[in-house]
Structure 1
């Protein structure tokens, strides 16, 4: 647990009064301090600088190795065999351009997503951007506000601050004037103001997170798997390259030819395009989601989107639209002016929540009562209250919290809740008792019935997740019967068996997780329990996404595998979520999940292409080195085959639509296909070259036969990986085969690539081994599918 400097202790009770009203800074003084470098300038975590992007794409292991091999070819070989060097330049340029596009999208959306900060300047309240806050600003606070800078409390009105993101302690801390508050915490109840004492990089949270806040393309199973491939291949390059060089030098050949053959084998081993394709797929995913008003604050979230199998949603803000309407008021006593009490309660709260706002909209004219004590609403208490001079103390909140069984209106409130209505109870409290955790209550006064606005797109969205195998859990602080009624009206499976979270078996983790796994609707869930829900579901092996918009969702969002916040949610909620739905639309979530699935499924697909090349190059280099034969192709020929069977198709396949849910085991599945495919490709090429060689033809003709066999088998690898077929995939396959045929047919082009087809016997040998290799690979895939082993995207899994 991090030690928090200057953390003042909590103050008992819920009621405090404002002891200071400052006019804040003047506009001129704020401008002077900003010019002096005392503004809240912190780097955005959503993107890195242009220089960092260029360095990350240029200064890579791939570029260093391939650059060195390119120089060797330019010195000792034919410049035509140096075509692979141009591929490095093109790949680097594409990587930089794509990431710059993602950077612009992220930065633009991040500005839109920034919640304005309320400050007092020149004696008046103003809203400014977070970066415009300066040292000494008087910052105003309300429920849900995130503290962006450190400071000292100037005024407090029932102010409760959650510092759990800094300390790990979930209990809110009551703050009084003079107490220190730290950036990274947020307001859970009440309001007040504080003076900024540390801003920008000097703020506590900025110091903790500056190193972790830099932009990252990914840190995930996918990226780790690719990195492991590269690590092992790098270790193999040196000994295999040495073996190949030695075997070529033993032959009666020139040093230049030996270097050219070695470079041809080594270059082909390196899957140089795989990292590029992975990075581009992630970046394009961010851009696509940005067009749907969805801000991905961390690119690794793309992978999390694909793996989600449980989605926890809060009813309010997700299934229902923000805001409510007052339906009716049902008095339970004749001696109380219920409308006046409700109007006074709404007027007494300077920043009402959605419930009190609905009351205020219905009763806009307050009775003018003077508030002497005020308790803001908190999701832990589930009620708010105020005491008025000469008019008593009143509580407004959940009926099952404020009403006892047998009280007037208890059964009526339960019956109304079962219809999906939001019901509140108005109850009188003993004067002077609001400072207690449980105020002494008098008789109930009324039931307040609110109508919630169900999102029109919610039903279709729930059906989408059901089809995709994603289980939706509705988690709410409201009455479980009310939540179940709304969820049931939208067709959520299991909505007919709601659970009251207060009845969950707290002392038995297994039973607790079992209930969560087998039920869909939960009511009366506390903020602490939301976090426990996420942890329990993860303990059952689920990948959990959590949506939310309120302060009470922050801890659960932070612990979930993927946190999704609504754009109009609290600043604290948006700060911890990996994904923010800027348009607040629940209907955007299917697109978010589909984008993640598209990226991962396609990366797995193209990884099979790149690693097939790696394994056939390794196998071919070993066979050639042991046999002491000339290497079966020169670099320009491998460049041609790889471009037509891997490079060009991979760009199209990596960006293609796909809705297949990703599963763990990426490395294992890719190897199941790439290893046999690579070995079969190497065998077909080696045999074609050997038979042609035994026929005592020229080396150029022998290599032509080997290249033809290699193209046929690797093109068939592409055919298998490109499934399921549609018009554009078939067009892609036909185009690649057609381009190879054109290359072989046009004199100037086939001479450039050193391909000669004037020996029909060699050509038939090449064709025969190529077809045989393709047939053998098909048989391997069929046998694996028959055994229930997943070797291709969309095939059986095991």
Structure 2
């Protein structure tokens, strides 16, 4: 609640409320109090709903660890693990603390959440595992060396805690506007009091008039308009599966100039997929399909491979494999993988080619195996056909390691090197497969194997990613890729998505460590091998250049940068809880298209706020001009304080708030974002406010002089003209579009118009406001001339469009 009350415009309203209480202006004090209460209640409610939605997303249970204490195995909560504990890990286990490996058998670890590395990393005895990573294959025994704040996870938590949450561009603009309005209000008060005293009017009456004009000059509905616009935007985004944790963040996306995106699980699927095959001597195949589902096709690029070549490759990658695919119980859910994700991608490939893993293992039961080791670079399995006669030896691993076992002719070796490089340039991790049709004792002997083919495996882009990149470019938003992955892989993905090209640069972690040159940032689109603290440095460097930075991510390692960025966007379904809690916006369905929807929503909100200011400040300007200039043209007191406050209440009330519901303008996503340094009244808005306010003021004074000349009640005529003229301008500023035919703004203007007429013709209101019922001729003249400013604004808007 206190956070809501610290808003500069709210503080200005509170100050105005204090003044109105001091001068016994109870009605306006009540209006101001109502605006403050509504604004605070809406903001607090939205924050609470966001926290509740995030809590509902968190379906993860607190992990447990299997430790060895006093020679006995036992399961304890991960939070109770202490340095010196021995922790046993199996495939799929979450590492509970930083460990030093004492034993490791074919151990691979998924470190994507901590480092951004998209592929599992092999770990051996003596190396360390970081808390929060997940074992994907093998087993291990490790000694706990660090826990809590000292662990890798804890250090990231520390970075999150020290990250300063920046003001949003809208908050900065409104703070500057509040400062300017305070100066304007003081100036108006001094001028009005001075002129009143020079005319010999009592100080109390002059002071009340000055306060009334000051309140008229302040668009006190602005906080309500801003809050309701943000709340409606947050509601609309929640319907599109985007949960807003911090209300001002809704508008911030509309001001974003740079979108710094993580790669793994954000722009990419976060799942390994086989996408290309090469069979010697020159047979290429493209592989379709997504995720681990064994559904897709193998399409030749050029000539088909000889009969049986594809089946042989698919059989080998199925047999030399320790993973398994997990079919979901719900057909709408994706297939899962148990074991090494790279091997699961090979199993999915086999399924696409019609090879069933169960049948392959039944036909070729395994007899021996040599597990994969990073130093060796390959794994092998030996099999005997179920008939008992032929044997089979299969090896798969890094091409440079497998080629030495195959010992092909020099020409074929060059072909393999060329194809490996080509696939790597496309972002693939290349696996070579070789076999021998028979074996003796199961040992692998160099030169005895025959190369079967190469498989390109990658973490492919999400289907929506290319569209998101294109839409962001169209909206003038630069996208940069910030990842812990390999530079080649990151650059390849960036080029596929249209983020990078031959003219852009790639910066690596060591470059960031040496210091970022501001000149390099302009042309850099890929940051690779980046550690968590370096992500924060990149975001800050971009902010120092004046950029408004949005950071997307899903891992623990993204959390500090999510907190540091102007707006952090986390994945709700596939992301970590740490990232979700650090973010301002959570994509519940992990659909990146929602980011574009949010940008459009942010721009709609900012456009509506500017439209309201154009309307409200112009009306306030007109009221000030009428009261200040009236005595100079022969109208001693054209409006009473109560009449000013009534006009202000009607025009800034329901119609003002209704501006927050106006639909998005078609051109909003085809224009560059506004500079955060630009005033909310910038871009020509101040000039528009000036001429519209002057036009309303001149028309109202003209009607007042006419009334004075023919004997109509001057204050009632000016009162009616001034109020209706502002309502006409409100209708002229409606966002273009035919649907719906009648919007909340139309109903609000109609209601305000009826109340304005009631101020002239209802006895109770006439007594309260000091007005008189106007003759039909006077009312017709007032209403007829009151539409002139609205028509002028409407004509200008049509010509501008």
From 90, 109, 118, give the equivalent of 2:63. 118
Distance 1:725 1:415, change over 3 A: closer
From 725, 728, 745, give the equivalent of 2:742. 728
Structure 2 residue 147 is matched with structure 1 residue 196: yes
User: Residue 159 of structure 1: CA displacement?
Assistant: 8.9
SS at match of 2:742: helix
Larger mean Cα displacement after TM superposition, 679-688 or 447-456: 447-456
Which residue does the alignment assign to 1:221?
169
C-alpha separation in 2, matches of 1:211 and 1:618 = 47
Structure 2 residue 512 is matched with structure 1 residue 564: no
Q: Is the 8 A contact 2:219 2:616 kept in 1?
A: yes
From 282, 287, 290, give the equivalent of 2:238. 290
Q: Is the 8 A contact 2:725 2:787 kept in 1?
A: yes
User: Residue 274 of structure 1: CA displacement?
Assistant: 1.4
Unaligned runs of 5+ in 1: 1-50, 75-80, 166-171, 376-383, 429-441, 787-794
User: Residue 107 of structure 1: CA displacement?
Assistant: 0.7
C-alpha separation in 2, matches of 1:397 and 1:641 = 80
Q: Is the 8 A contact 1:153 1:180 kept in 2?
A: yes
Which residue does the alignment assign to 1:409?
416
Unaligned runs of 5+ in 2: 116-120, 282-308, 326-336, 351-356, 383-392, 435-448
Q: Matches of residues 739-758 of structure 1 in structure 2 within 5 Å?
A: 739-758=755-774
Q: Matches of residues 128-139 of structure 1 in structure 2 within 5 Å?
A: 133=79, 136=82
Which residue does the alignment assign to 1:634?
640
Which residue does the alignment assign to 1:42?
none
From 601, 609, 618, give the equivalent of 2:607. 601
Which residue does the alignment assign to 2:729?
717
Distance 1:536 1:416, change over 3 A: same
C-alpha separation in 1, matches of 2:113 and 2:493 = 35
C-alpha separation in 2, matches of 1:160 and 1:446 = 27
Which residue does the alignment assign to 2:321?
343
Structure 2 residue 342 is matched with structure 1 residue 355: yes
Q: Matches of residues 605-624 of structure 1 in structure 2 within 5 Å?
A: 605-620=611-626, 622-623=628-629
C-alpha separation in 1, matches of 2:642 and 2:596 = 45
C-alpha separation in 1, matches of 2:538 and 2:490 = 20
C-alpha separation in 1, matches of 2:493 and 2:14 = 62
Aligned-residue CA RMSD (Å): 6.1
Structure 2 residue 2 is matched with structure 1 residue 52: yes
Q: Deviations over 1:259-315 (max 9, x none)?
A: 432332222122222133223323443343234332344545433421346656677
Q: Is the 8 A contact 1:95 1:276 kept in 2?
A: yes
SS at match of 1:120: strand
C-alpha separation in 2, matches of 1:242 and 1:625 = 16
Q: Matches of residues 532-543 of structure 1 in structure 2 within 5 Å?
A: none
User: Residue 714 of structure 1: CA displacement?
Assistant: 1.5
Q: Deviations over 1:708-728 (max 9, x none)?
A: 221233223213322325322
Q: Is the 8 A contact 1:423 1:449 kept in 2?
A: yes
Which residue does the alignment assign to 1:45?
none
Which residue does the alignment assign to 2:286?
none
Which residue does the alignment assign to 1:703?
715
User: Residue 653 of structure 1: CA displacement?
Assistant: 1.7
SS at match of 2:598: helix
User: Residue 561 of structure 1: CA displacement?
Assistant: 5.9
C-alpha separation in 1, matches of 2:636 and 2:95 = 69
Q: Deviations over 1:721-748 (max 9, x none)?
A: 2232532247344454344335544444
Which residue does the alignment assign to 2:682?
668
Q: Deviations over 1:304-327 (max 9, x none)?
A: 421346656677645654424557
Distance 1:199 1:472, change over 3 A: closer
Q: Deviations over 1:375-408 (max 9, x none)?
A: 8xxxxxxxx9688999999855999999999545
Distance 1:301 1:354, change over 3 A: farther
Scaled by the length of structure 2, the TM-score of the pair is 0.64
Which residue does the alignment assign to 1:26?
none
Q: Deviations over 1:332-365 (max 9, x none)?
A: 8999996489536999xx9967434434777799
Which residue does the alignment assign to 1:431?
none
C-alpha separation in 2, matches of 1:739 and 1:401 = 87
C-alpha separation in 1, matches of 2:732 and 2:370 = 77
Distance 1:502 1:295, change over 3 A: same
Which residue does the alignment assign to 2:301?
none
C-alpha separation in 1, matches of 2:783 and 2:493 = 67
User: Residue 457 of structure 1: CA displacement?
Assistant: 5.3
User: Residue 106 of structure 1: CA displacement?
Assistant: 1.9
Which residue does the alignment assign to 1:102?
46
Q: Is the 8 A contact 1:144 1:572 kept in 2?
A: no
Q: Is the 8 A contact 2:403 2:413 kept in 1?
A: no
Q: Matches of residues 254-269 of structure 1 in structure 2 within 5 Å?
A: 257-269=205-217
Structure 2 residue 31 is matched with structure 1 residue 87: yes
User: Residue 674 of structure 1: CA displacement?
Assistant: 1.6
Q: When the two structures are aligned, how many residues end up with a matched partner?
A: 674
C-alpha separation in 2, matches of 1:164 and 1:197 = 15
Distance 1:176 1:761, change over 3 A: farther
Distance 1:572 1:392, change over 3 A: farther
User: Residue 446 of structure 1: CA displacement?
Assistant: 5.2
Distance 1:745 1:106, change over 3 A: same
C-alpha separation in 1, matches of 2:639 and 2:421 = 80
Q: Is the 8 A contact 1:82 1:636 kept in 2?
A: no
Q: Is the 8 A contact 2:616 2:652 kept in 1?
A: yes
Q: Deviations over 1:453-508 (max 9, x none)?
A: 775656765675576566777899689899989987xxx7799x77897799x999
From 230, 253, 264, give the equivalent of 1:305. 253
Q: Deviations over 1:106-144 (max 9, x none)?
A: 21233245566534278789898xxx9468597999999
C-alpha separation in 2, matches of 1:481 and 1:107 = 36
User: Residue 585 of structure 1: CA displacement?
Assistant: 1.8
Give the number of the structure whose alpha-carbon radius of gyration is greater: 2
Which residue does the alignment assign to 2:385?
none
C-alpha separation in 2, matches of 1:97 and 1:401 = 69
Distance 1:634 1:583, change over 3 A: same
Q: Is the 8 A contact 1:646 1:718 kept in 2?
A: no
User: Residue 607 of structure 1: CA displacement?
Assistant: 1.8
Distance 1:773 1:547, change over 3 A: closer
Which residue does the alignment assign to 1:38?
none
